[in-house]
A and B are shown apart, each in its own frame.
Chain A
């Protein structure tokens, strides 16, 4: 695959340099500068909200640092968790004396590194809580939902936790709303084509030109089935059907994210959204604040995901609260 890069070894650092130049509200922090923080000083008494993960998913994770969202983010090499040091740097940058919520996807390396960083932070007197994004319903059955991966739906938890933290809530309250939002968010994706880690000899996975993989993860993790490609409406029907099978009792309003995994264009996303909206309406659900676009990608991977966050009276106003980061503005 052709890429517009220089030395693959400099891929992440050059990307972060460009991101911060384009968005002066962001700065690189830490000894190895592998954490991104807001350029404004952390407000004392405010709970910090941090995330982290591998590169290759922009806007996730670093792109959501901004007012009403994340305070800082640790960033690793492509598809590799952030280092322990980066996690420590992110936590330190987000420490306003009221504790720090570590909110990131359910992946082994990320968990271990944030866990170790949190232990180091505790030695420095910084209290942390951890909430894991587990919204990918294709990655484990409902009875093992704690094993699910975190994918695009994680941004709803960023938004709710970030908004509540801005309002002055304490660490336990911010962690609780983050967990509640995760618990009420479901995502499923479809992959059409692969991506390639810079410097790697070949693509991350292979898929025939006429095939689609239903439920594939954002690093090419296997999905539920792989068959010949089908019409968009059929795919959306199956995606929505699987998500609604896990609809929380009493939910009647949903936030919707139709997300491009990288190379799938807006036109196709709107075709998917059109059908999703029809199906949700038929199911008696009211759509609130739909998001359509590349919010969580896998470099040049082709495909899309649909996320639903089942709202309640607590989450909905937090999603509507003002926020401002390079890739998502509200209010």
Chain B
């Protein structure tokens, strides 16, 4: 099986359902050094994605672009814009394609990581969502099916959070609190990890599609 519009729509629906429990968790993580609105913003953005009729898009590229377009009207936050950048990158990479093979997902995530670095003027190692994307892309290299990808992705998220937790932030608002950021998860990286964990768990356990 490959990644199709149905897979994408199902993943968005699962992530959207998970946000009811994640919003406060992510807001609390962000409130330690930031505005405390990461969960709220992400819930709004994923809710916007969920309202898009991705399942009936012309192809994967069109589906991702529809998500990017909807997201562009939803948020102006840095993290939100990086997610929109990810959707645009995926849209360009899958233009005209009706499916993406699981072994190609790693390369797509690597492309998204590069695009996010360029958009956010960020470097690897700065303790941001980009480090999470890098770990995710690496973990999926050589994975040929959903179950294998899910196990690897979940492990990668645990590992990257642990690796960066005790490092100082070097990017964005948190860099101004570099010492205080030691011992804390980056809210963007944590958001990625929580969404990946949600999708990985439901994939491993053969969840029924939410929508």
Question: In the complex, which range does the number of interface residues on chain B fall in?
Answer: 20 to 34
A18 CB-CB contact with B under 8 Å: no
1/0 contact trace for A89-118 toward B, CB 8 Å? 000000000000000000011111101100
User: With the chains together, A200 CA to B120 CA distance in Å?
Assistant: 26
User: With the chains together, A247 CA to B181 CA distance in Å?
Assistant: 34
B173 CB-CB contact with A under 8 Å: yes
A82 CB-CB contact with B under 8 Å: yes
User: With the chains together, A43 CA to B76 CA distance in Å?
Assistant: 29
Once the chains bind, are A80 and B77 in contact (CB under 8 Å)? yes
Residues A109 and B76 in contact in the complex (CB < 8 Å), given A115-B119, A222-B177: yes
Please give me the 8 A-B residue pairs with the lowest Cβ-Cβ distance, nearest first: A81-B76, A84-B72, A76-B76, A109-B78, A108-B78, A112-B81, A85-B73, A83-B76
Residues A54 and B76 in contact in the complex (CB < 8 Å), given A112-B81, A116-B81: yes
1/0 contact trace for A178-222 toward B, CB 8 Å? 000000000000000000010011101000000000000001011
Question: Which of B72, B73, B77, B177 makes the CB contact (< 8 A) with A109?
Answer: B77
Determine the chain A residues whose CB is within 8 A of the CB of B74 once the complex forms: 83
User: With the chains together, A229 CA to B121 CA distance in Å?
Assistant: 38
Size of chain A's interface in residues, with CB distance under 8 A?
30
A31 CB-CB contact with B under 8 Å: yes
User: With the chains together, A115 CA to B135 CA distance in Å?
Assistant: 27
| Closest chain B residue to A82, Cβ basis | B76
30 contacts between A and B (CB under 8 A): A31-B73, A76-B76, A77-B76, A80-B37, A80-B41, A80-B75, A80-B76, A81-B76, A81-B81, A82-B76, A83-B73, A83-B74, A84-B72, A86-B76, A108-B120, A108-B172, A109-B78, A109-B80, A112-B82, A112-B85, A112-B119, A116-B119, A139-B176, A197-B36, A197-B37, A200-B36, A204-B35, A221-B176, A222-B176, A222-B177
Question: Which of B78, B119, B176 makes the CB contact (< 8 A) with A81?
Answer: B78
Q: How far is the CB of B81 from chain A (nearest CB, A)?
A: 4
Specify the main secondary structure of chain B where it touches its partner: helix
Residues A83 and B72 in contact in the complex (CB < 8 Å), given A108-B120, A109-B81, A115-B119: yes
Among A82, A113, A222, chain B packs the most CB atoms within 10 A around the CB of A113
1/0 contact trace for B11-40 toward A, CB 8 Å? 000000000000000000001000111000
User: With the chains together, A112 CA to B177 CA distance in Å?
Assistant: 22
User: With the chains together, A72 CA to B144 CA distance in Å?
Assistant: 50
Among B31, B35, B82, chain A packs the most CB atoms within 10 A around the CB of B35
Q: For window 83-137 of chain B, which residues contact chain A by CB distance below 8 Å?
A: 84-85, 119-121
A32 CB-CB contact with B under 8 Å: yes
Q: How far is the CB of B27 from chain A (nearest CB, A)?
A: 8
Determine the chain B residues whose CB is within 8 A of the CB of A108 once the complex forms: 78, 120, 172
A79 CB-CB contact with B under 8 Å: yes
Given contacts A80-B41, A112-B81, A200-B35, 20 further A-B contacts (CB under 8 A): A32-B73, A54-B76, A76-B76, A80-B35, A80-B37, A80-B75, A80-B77, A81-B76, A83-B72, A83-B76, A108-B172, A109-B76, A110-B76, A113-B81, A116-B72, A116-B84, A116-B85, A204-B35, A219-B35, A222-B176
Determine the chain A residues whose CB is within 8 A of the CB of B37 once the complex forms: 80, 197, 200
